[in-house]
Amino acid sequence: MDKFITIAVDGTASSGKSTVMKIVSERLNFHFLDTGLMYRAYTKYCLNNKINLLESSSIESLIKSFNFSFDNENVYVNKVNYTSFLSDNDVVTNIKYVANNKIVRDYMVGFQRQLAFNKNIIMVGRDITSVVLKDATLKIYFDCSIESRAIRRFKQNENNGIKPNIYEDIYQSILKRDSNDKTRKEGPLVITDNAWVLDTSNLSIEEAVDAVINKIKKIIN
């Protein structure tokens, strides 16, 4: 068994992977990184620097000055805390231009591998099992029915007072997100042959956490 344990996690949007694996990391005392936050942070970094996100060369121009760091609660760019900006509407709207850029993705993949070096870490994303950490100790793929994900998102929006909150719109949005993730040219979402698939459609958060911890313990013991 390797000295350090790397757990690579991919999965569909709103399948619970970040929520579940964050709790798992806390209980097992692992580092945790949701790589989607890196792309969000870079998007905000570009916006702050007035970059034209419709031009690939402009997006790529800042990548070498993007110094990303994290702890289990916050993300930083050039030592500035970006955590509170990552769900801003301008980030959500424009992240697709950043995430689909090959130069940016190649840089992020290399950076993510550096961040995983010599530590027990859980890394979550869309191409972690297939691209970033191909030799991970354990690979997990989270899946969940579109219906279950749409209902969860609808209830979350309702509890948070987010409007408009229309179930059919949420359903179609998730359907479109799945299609985009699975068909994009760079780092498409796939189930690797050696990944453990966890369907969370009928699992509570705690049930999913327990299932993952039991799986990890079997691997490392």
Q: Over the stretch 117-149, which tens digit does the pLDDT of each residue have?
A: 999 999 999 999 999 999 999 999 999 999 999
Write 23-27 long-range contacts (CB < 8 A, 24+).
23/205, 23/209, 24/122, 24/209, 24/212, 24/213, 24/216, 25/72, 25/122, 26/72, 27/209, 27/213
Flag whether 19 is marked binding: yes
What integer pLDDT is reported at residue 149 of this predicted model?
96
pTM of the model: 0.91
Flag whether 17 is marked binding: yes
Flag whether 6 is marked binding: no
Please indicate, yes or no, whether residues 63 and 95 belong to a single structural domain of this protein: yes
Rounded mean pLDDT of the chain?
94
Q: Residue range 16-39: average pLDDT?
A: 96
Flag whether 16 is marked binding: yes
For the cut 90, the answer to whether the pLDDT of residue 89 exceeds it is: no
Answer whether residue 8 is part of any domain.
Answer: yes
Instruction: Find the domain containing 92 and state its range.
Output: 31-119
Flag whether 18 is marked binding: yes
The number of domains in the chain is 2
Please indicate, yes or no, whether residues 110 and 37 belong to a single structural domain of this protein: yes
For the cut 90, the answer to whether the pLDDT of residue 162 exceeds it is: no
What integer pLDDT is reported at residue 113 of this predicted model?
97
Entry field: residues in the chain: 221
Please indicate, yes or no, whether residues 14 and 96 belong to a single structural domain of this protein: no
Flag whether 211 is marked binding: no
Give the residue from 33, 219, 30 showing the smallest Cα distance to 139.
219
